[in-house]
Amino acid sequence: MATPSAKLEPAEPEDLPGAWAVYLACTRPEDQSGCRQAAPDRPDLPPPLYAHLLLTSEGAFWVARYEDQVVGFAAAVTRGRLWWLSELWVAPGFRGRGIGSALLRKVRRASRGVRGRVLAGLTGPDGAGMVLGLRAGMWARYPVFTVEGGQEAAERLRRANPLPPGARMARYDAAAKLGPRSPLLRLDREVLGGTRADDHVFWMTHGGRTCLLLWKGNRALAYAYLGTGGEVGPLAAAGPQGLRSALGLVVSKAARKSETVRLRIPGINQVALKAVLDAGFQLVADSQLLASEEFGCLERYLPGDESLF
């Protein structure tokens, strides 16, 4: 078969439906070679996430085109010291021809100031995804497990991890007030080593997630997001007690909206893993965290998704 040569270009808003079609082709159940993802609510529309990536990736969103059709795309976001590979997808019929490597080179070059940053991303069981990450100096660190549980497991988790005396958890709906002293950004600085105000605003608005903040006195112990379909995360906590309590409460709230609660837990976060496994949650998938060096305190963190971590 002749090798098709693809043209690589910075993405424009009109490319997003094409990128979405590539993603859907890559994640069909019969082609689950890449990062495993839940079925999208609206397969006919690119998610608001892609528009957010286009707006906040500072030129690091590229598409590969073959005969005017998008056949691959990559996007990366820079948040503080962290350069995060959000998307890297090549349509099944176009793989093994250098398109993925070329897209990765483009988004690395497009990101201003990659030097001195931690390059990181998540990859699924696809050998090529792992190989491209390793070649870019992003080494395999540890698994990130996807776990699922039903309403009984969620209730067991909540009962085993009550709020500390004097603590309260409340909805935090202050997207417009995310100044540098915001508790969300302070927790991000402590746990991830950098801030990402734009992503919080996105999650609370077009991202369809609700943010809960765990307070004790005037100190924020943790933030935790829940989605409409039972997904939990991101969650960042100042310490293990805040982590357990926030997890118990956000998971029980998620279980009121959905029969199944789904969360991702870094292998290094033993507190969260032990808590959910003790409550009867099941491990259903895992991906690998790739990173050029260790970053943050991920033993106090649960990612929200593969794209914004």
Binding interface with ligand COA (CB under 6 A):
26, 33-35, 88-90, 95-101, 123-124, 126-129, 131-132
What residue is closest to ligand COA based on CB?
A: 100
CB of 249 to ligand COA, least distance (A): 31
Tokens found for residue 122: 């998540």
CA pair distance 99, 51, nearest whole angstrom = 23
CA pair distance 8, 304, nearest whole angstrom = 29
Q: Considering the complex, state which of residue 86 and residue 252 has its C-beta at the smaller distance from ligand COA.
A: 86
Q: Considering the complex, state which of residue 57 and residue 252 has its C-beta at the smaller distance from ligand COA.
A: 57
Q: Considering the complex, state which of residue 99 and residue 235 has its C-beta at the smaller distance from ligand COA.
A: 99
Q: Which one-letter amino acid corresponds to residue 58? A: E
CB of 278 to ligand COA, least distance (A): 30
Alpha-carbon distances of 38 from 4, 90, 272, 284, rounded to whole Å = 31, 19, 21, 12
Q: Give buried/exposed letters for 37-75 (b at 16+ CB in 10 A, else e).
A: beeeeeeeebbebbebbbebbeebbbbbbbeeebbbbbb
- With residues binned 3-state (H G I as helix, E B as strand, rest as coil), the percentages for the chain, rounded to 5, are 35, 30, 35
What are residue 148's DSSP bridge partners? Answer: 262, 282
Tokens found for residue 89: 């997808």
CB of 123 to ligand COA, least distance (A): 4
Q: Considering the complex, state which of residue 91 and residue 213 has its C-beta at the smaller distance from ligand COA.
A: 91
CB of 72 to ligand COA, least distance (A): 6
CB of 258 to ligand COA, least distance (A): 25
Q: Considering the complex, state which of residue 98 and residue 194 has its C-beta at the smaller distance from ligand COA.
A: 98
Tokens found for residue 103: 């897209």
CB of 217 to ligand COA, least distance (A): 41
CB of 138 to ligand COA, least distance (A): 10
Q: Considering the complex, state which of residue 100 and residue 303 has its C-beta at the smaller distance from ligand COA.
A: 100
CA pair distance 220, 241, nearest whole angstrom = 12
Return the closest-CA partner of residue 194 out of 79, 51, 40, 74. 79
Residue appearing with tokens 């105000």: 197
Q: Considering the complex, state which of residue 81 and residue 95 has its C-beta at the smaller distance from ligand COA.
A: 95
3-state secondary structure of 210: strand
Q: Considering the complex, state which of residue 142 and residue 215 has its C-beta at the smaller distance from ligand COA.
A: 142
CB of 101 to ligand COA, least distance (A): 3
Phi and psi at residue 19, in whole multiples of 5°? -65, -40
